[in-house]
Structure 1
Amino acid sequence: MEFDLSTQPEIVQQAAGYALQVWELAMSWALSPAAWSQFALLIVAWLLAVVAARRLRGWLVPVLTPAAESENMLAQGRRFALTLLPLLLPLLAYVFTAIGESVVRSVFDSGAVIAFGKRVFMFVAARTLAREILQDPLLKLLGRYILIPVAALYALGLLDLLVDKLNAMTVSLGNISFSVMSLVRGIIAGGVLFWLGGWSNRQTSQFIEKQEEMRPSLRQLLAKVVEFSIFGVAFLLLLNIMGINLSALAVIGGAVGVGLGFGLQKIASNFISGVILLIEGQATVGDYVELDGGESGQIVRMTARAAILETFDGRWIVVPNEDFITTRVTNYSDSGSANRYEAPFSVSYDTDINLVPDIIEAAVATHPDVLDAPYPPDCELRGFGDSGIDFAVEFWVNGLDDGPNKYTSDVLFLIWNALKEHDIEIPYPQRVVEIKGGLPQAEA
């Protein structure tokens, strides 16, 4: 049956031509004994793959399953291998079909049907990978909208035709030109490369954070160096995959350099200041700092541009790294060093003040957070006030007397209880009023 499509659009004529070719191919397969034998071989290969996959799965699952509490690299690799078990069936079918293909080609000198079957099995494997194995949202998106369509085109034998069409189409951006196929490859490779970069960066950062013998600032610096290195290599690989000549980026690099020199001075300065801070370790994550500008808080994060301070009332302050280099910074923590505080109090003039230091020092020393080094609690006489004798007890602790820690409040409670226990009076203001000339007499 023939149709006159000369008046139809070109795309309709091309579609009709492809449909006619598919119809002729299907009819030739339907009437060919060699094609039927190859169909039978595909069915046998699939059934053998079902049996083999079931046996192998029953043997591999106990071997690959690690102990529940195991978290080392080998255990993680075994858990990852377990997630790939759904690929056993289509891949075994592909292998058995490839073995039978050599026999069929030697007998019938034809293997078009069995080659089509192999491509179908690869499509099934790609579909299983995208739907059942990939869990990362980005990879799942790439699998669903790129991997599966590409595998379908490959199974139908249309992938080469599409690639030729995309290679013929070019895009130009100034001195840089590339084909649409290069752009498609770049999108696919970029997604995979930057996902791999993010995953490897997370794994490396976790490994570095576990090295407790290293200074926190050095761990932060190594993590940043690894992060920039990974994504820098990924970017260069992506340009190479897209077929972009790196020498063509020289003009862009020069423009970026001029931009850094004029408009991005602060960003470059903050970046270099951040590197200096990480190397010297004068302020790092966990330290409580106060700047000349009045900003104070605990450093909870250090980025390439700024440090983030968290105050005890829950506010975050973003401080540029340059401020830590060009202004005076008071570091109250210094990566966990001890701090000294004091709690003032007074006693009555009727008290034997020689007993007070020993009583108070013993009481304050019972606090679990008060340290014996560099100095134990020290009670000092500060002066003779209007209403009582003034003392103050100095004590050392690891941490800040604010937020979750109420060291001074706890110590004052201990002082109060100790003075009450020894019947020592805590005075209150007293005044003597003298009335010259005596009190006026009341009239009768």
Structure 2
Amino acid sequence: MESNPFVQKMIGYGEQGVELALSWLTSPAAWSQFMLLVVAFGLAWFLNRRLNKVFLRVLTPPEEAVGLVSTVRRFVLQFLPLLLPLLAYVFTAAGEQVVRSLFDSGAVIAFGKRVFLFLAARILVRRIISEPFLKLLGKFVLIPVAALYALGMLDVATSALTDFQVGVGNISFSLMAIVRGVIAGAILFWLGRWSNDHSAAMIRKQEDLRPATRQLAAKAIEITIFGAAFLLLMNIMGVNLASLAVLGGAIGVGLGFGLQKIASNFISGVILLLEGQATVGDFVELDGGEAGTIVKMTARAIILETYDGRWIVVPNEDFIVTRVVNYSDQGSANRYEAEFSVSYDTDINAVPAIVEAAVQSHPDVLMKPYPADCELRGFGESGIDFSVEFWVNGIDDGRHKYTSDVLFLIWNALKDNDIKIPYPHRVVEFKGEMPK
């Protein structure tokens, strides 16, 4: 029964490895190179101990230091564990020239150099990299590649992956291109996300710009970064962009009918950002009854947060085709009223001045566009009805209780001036004899 070709190839590599090891064990030149590797590692270990103490003393900043120089010093200190394998690599590379000139062979010492690089990669992943994605990438990509390189199998693995072809329509890929694309894509899109987050944070700090302009700039940068990452990834994978355009056009026509709503919401989101009529932080109310503070604007929808902690996802299109009431517009003032009554034996001519002064003392009540205004509204059954109008920046709900605060101020002001707040009275008449 004929064996699997792959198994046969692996057995062949194993036999070659055994023969190579036996030849090294019986060769004086190989033993000399082994001794040189031991000496290089010992020298690197001795020098590493001395240099570590010096670098720690020079580079360690004070604990309370937060400047740029201190940040750079802390960053450099993270790489001190790499010093030992890199020193060993440098000393081995220096000794390799001597060995090759004496024995006309350097296979053992070249293998030792590759092993030192593998140890450096292992230390980098296990002890230095802390970001979860990069750590995962190093564990499953960098360390296996370094191991194959140390064993001299990297070229063989690369050739096998390149020979294996995968076809999709008129586009063909090698397995190596797919692996390279996955690795490069992961790195590119991680870098894109990282740079996009930092760019968005920098744009949010530009308080001179309108919130809508900041949001639009952040979206434009995000599209640019990920668009460039996609094109660069296609180039790395060796994909012909002309062929991709034909395939993309066919897919686009098919998806266009099924994704009309998504396209409409995306375009509506761009229009909202350009016009700036609603942006993050505004309190809005739609015709459908949805009301809340805008906490996030995405490519497809706007997320509202109600005062009871719920999130409402509203498609961008609804902000274009329906009536939207914006109560805040990032700082515009709103007017509220607080109603109260006084008894009929009150001098009503004194009430407006007393109440307006009390309401205006609230730190959030504005003088512009109008100061607090107390108006007589009517003569009720139990008392004389008044209402005070006041302007504030914000919504009278959630963490702000403007009307409640104003009513407390009115109550205290009327009590301080001996003005009574009436309560309903009823007069009951009995005809005939009193009931027993």
TM-score, length of structure 2 as denominator length: 0.93
Which residue identity is paired with 2:408? F
Distance 1:27-1:140 versus aligned 2 partners, 3 A rule:
same
Secondary structure of the structure 1 residue equivalent to 2:389: strand
1:25 is aligned, of 14, 20, 23, to 20
**Which sections of structure 1, spanning at least 5 residues, go unmatched?**
1-5
CA contact (8 A) 1:126 1:151 kept: yes
The 5-angstrom pairing of residues 91-240 of structure 1 reads 91-240=86-235
**Structure 1 residue 247 corresponds to structure 2 residue 239:** no
Which residue identity is paired with 2:260? Q
- Name the counterpart of 2:44: 49
Distance 1:13-1:429 versus aligned 2 partners, 3 A rule:
closer
Give deviations 1:239-270, integer Å, cap 9, x for gaps: 22111111111222212432464222221121
Which residue identity is paired with 1:98? A
- Structure 2 distance, partners of 1:410, 1:262, is 54
- Tell which deviates more after alignment, 89-98 or 133-142: 133-142
- Name the counterpart of 1:3: none
Which residue identity is paired with 2:124? L
Give deviations 1:375-395, integer Å, cap 9, x for gaps: 222211122223221111111
- Structure 2 distance, partners of 1:62, 1:125, is 23
CA RMSD of aligned residues (A): 2.3
State the identity as a percent: 69
**Structure 1 residue 297 corresponds to structure 2 residue 297:** no
**Cα drift, residue 329 of structure 1:** 1.2
**Structure 1 residue 417 corresponds to structure 2 residue 412:** yes
Give deviations 1:303-325, integer Å, cap 9, x for gaps: 01110001111121111112212
**Structure 1 residue 337 corresponds to structure 2 residue 337:** no
Secondary structure of the structure 2 residue equivalent to 1:345: strand
- Structure 1 distance, partners of 2:87, 2:150, is 17
Which residue identity is paired with 1:22? G
Which residue identity is paired with 2:342? V
- Name the counterpart of 2:266: 271
**Cα drift, residue 77 of structure 1:** 4.5
Which residue identity is paired with 1:360? V
2:33 is aligned, of 38, 46, 53, to 38
Which residue identity is paired with 1:287? D
**Cα drift, residue 279 of structure 1:** 2.2
Give deviations 1:207-230, integer Å, cap 9, x for gaps: 222222222222211221222222
- Name the counterpart of 2:321: 326
- Structure 2 distance, partners of 1:170, 1:72, is 53
- Structure 2 distance, partners of 1:365, 1:150, is 73
Secondary structure of the structure 1 residue equivalent to 2:374: strand
1:309 is aligned, of 295, 304, 312, to 304
- Structure 2 distance, partners of 1:41, 1:214, is 65
Secondary structure of the structure 2 residue equivalent to 1:221: helix
Distance 1:249-1:417 versus aligned 2 partners, 3 A rule:
same
Secondary structure of the structure 2 residue equivalent to 1:344: strand
The 5-angstrom pairing of residues 38-77 of structure 1 reads 38-65=33-60, 68=63, 76-77=71-72
- Name the counterpart of 1:391: 386
- Tell which deviates more after alignment, 52-61 or 235-244: 52-61
Secondary structure of the structure 2 residue equivalent to 1:352: coil
Distance 1:292-1:12 versus aligned 2 partners, 3 A rule:
closer
Distance 1:323-1:70 versus aligned 2 partners, 3 A rule:
farther
Give deviations 1:184-205, integer Å, cap 9, x for gaps: 1112112212221121122222
TM-score, length of structure 1 as denominator length: 0.91
- Structure 1 distance, partners of 2:236, 2:434, is 110
How many residues align? The count is 435
2:343 is aligned, of 344, 348, 366, to 348
- Structure 2 distance, partners of 1:296, 1:8, is 71
- Name the counterpart of 1:440: 432
**Cα drift, residue 117 of structure 1:** 0.6
- Tell which deviates more after alignment, 349-358 or 269-278: 269-278
CA contact (8 A) 1:260 1:268 kept: no
**Which sections of structure 2, spanning at least 5 residues, go unmatched?**
none
